[in-house]
Amino acid sequence: MSGLSVGMLLFLVSVGMSLIFGVTRIVNLAHGSFYMVGAYLMVTLVEVLPDRPWAFWLALLLAPLGVAALGGVIEIGLLRLIYRRDPLMQLILTFGLILVIGTLVLLAWGPDNKSVSRPEALAGSVRVFGQPFPSYYLLVLGLAPLVAVALWLVFYRTRFGMLIRAATVDREMLGALGVNVSALYTQVFMFGSWLAGFGGALAAPTVAVALGMDSDVLTTAFVVVVIGGLGSFAGSFISALLVGLLQSFGILIFPAISIVLLFAIMAVVLIVRPWGLLGRPEE
Amino acid sequence: MRTRVKCATPALAVLSMLLVLITAVGPAAAQGRSPIRIGEINSYSGLATVYTFPYKEGLLMAAKEINDAGGVLGRPIEFIFRDDKLKPDEAVKAARELVGQEKVDFLAGCISSGVGLAISAYAKEAKTLYFATHCQTSRLTWDDGHRYIAHTTNNVNQYVRALAKKAATLPYKKWAHISPDYEYGHNVWDEFIAYLKHLKPDIQVMQENWPKLGETDHSSYVTALLQSGADAFISSVWGAQEIAFVKQARPFGLFEKVHYISASVGNPDELEPLGKEAPVGAVTPGFAWYDDGMQKRHPKLADWVKKYTDRTKKDPTLGASWGYASAYIITEAIKRAKSAETDKVIAALSEGYEMEFPWGKVIMRGCDMQAIPPQWVGVVKMNAQGKPVLADIEETHGKDVIRSCDEVAKLRAAAADKKK
pLDDT tens digits for A192-233?
A: 999 999 999 999 999 889 888 888 899 889 889 888 887 778
pLDDT in the model for residue A233 = 81
* Chain A residues touching B85 at Cβ < 8 A: none
* Chain B residues touching A9 at Cβ < 8 A: none
Tell me the pLDDT tens digit for each residue of A164-173. 888 877 888 8
Interface test with chain B among A207, A213, A216, by most B beta carbons within 10 Å = A207
Q: Do B217 and A135 touch (CB under 8 A)?
A: no
Q: What is the 3-state secondary structure (H, E, C) of chain A?
A: CHHHHHHHHHHHHHHHHHHHHHHHCCCCCCHHHHHHHHHHHHHHHHHHCCCCHHHHHHHHHHHHHHHHHHHHHHHHHCHHHHCCCCHHHHHHHHHHHHHHHHHHHHHHHCCCCECCCCCHHHCCEEEECCEEEEHHHHHHHHHHHHHHHHHHHHHHHCHHHHHHHHHHHCHHHHHHCCCCHHHHHHHHHHHHHHHHHHHHHHHHHHCCECCCHHHHHHHHHHHHHHHHCCCCHHHHHHHHHHHHHHHHHHHHHCHHHHHHHHHHHHHHHHHHCCCCCCCCCCC
Residues A257-263 have a mean pLDDT of: 75
Per-residue pLDDT band for A256 (boundaries 50, 70, 90) equals low
Q: Do A210 and B210 touch (CB under 8 A)?
A: no
Which of A206, A213, A259 is the closest to B247 by Cβ? A206
* Chain B residues touching A208 at Cβ < 8 A: 239-244, 247, 273
pLDDT in the model for residue A171 = 80
C-alpha span between B400 and B162 (Å, rounded):
9
pLDDT of B21 above 50? no
Residues A18-23 have a mean pLDDT of: 88
Which of A2, A124, A135 is the closest to B217 by Cβ? A2
Domain boundaries, chain A: 2-209
Per-residue pLDDT band for A182 (boundaries 50, 70, 90) equals confident
Count CB neighbours of A32 within 10 A. Answer: 28
pLDDT in the model for residue B28 = 36
Q: Do B243 and A115 touch (CB under 8 A)?
A: yes
Q: What is the DSSP string of B355-366?
A: EEETTEEEEEET
Interface test with chain A among B51, B209, B220, by most A beta carbons within 10 Å = B220
For A137, nearest residue in chain B (alpha carbons): B248
* Chain B residues touching A44 at Cβ < 8 A: none
State the count of interchain CB pairs (< 8 A) between A and B: 104
ipTM of the complex: 0.80
Q: In angstroms, what separates the C-alpha of A277 from chain B's closest C-alpha?
A: 25
The residues on A that touch B, with CB distances below 8 Å, are 2-3, 6, 102-103, 106, 111-115, 117, 123-125, 131-136, 205-213, 216, 247-249, 251-252, 255, 259
Q: In angstroms, what separates the C-alpha of B55 from chain A's closest C-alpha?
A: 12
Least confident of A125-134, B38-47, B257-266: A125-134
pLDDT in the model for residue B20 = 40
Tell me the pLDDT tens digit for each residue of B48-71. 888 999 999 999 999 999 999 999
The residues on B that touch A, with CB distances below 8 Å, are 45-47, 49-50, 52-53, 210-212, 214, 216-217, 219-221, 223-224, 239-244, 247-248, 250-253, 269-270, 272-277
Angle at B113 between CA A97 and CA B115, to 5 degrees: 55
For A47, nearest residue in chain B (alpha carbons): B273
Q: Looking at per-residue confidence, does A177 or B203 come out higher?
A: B203
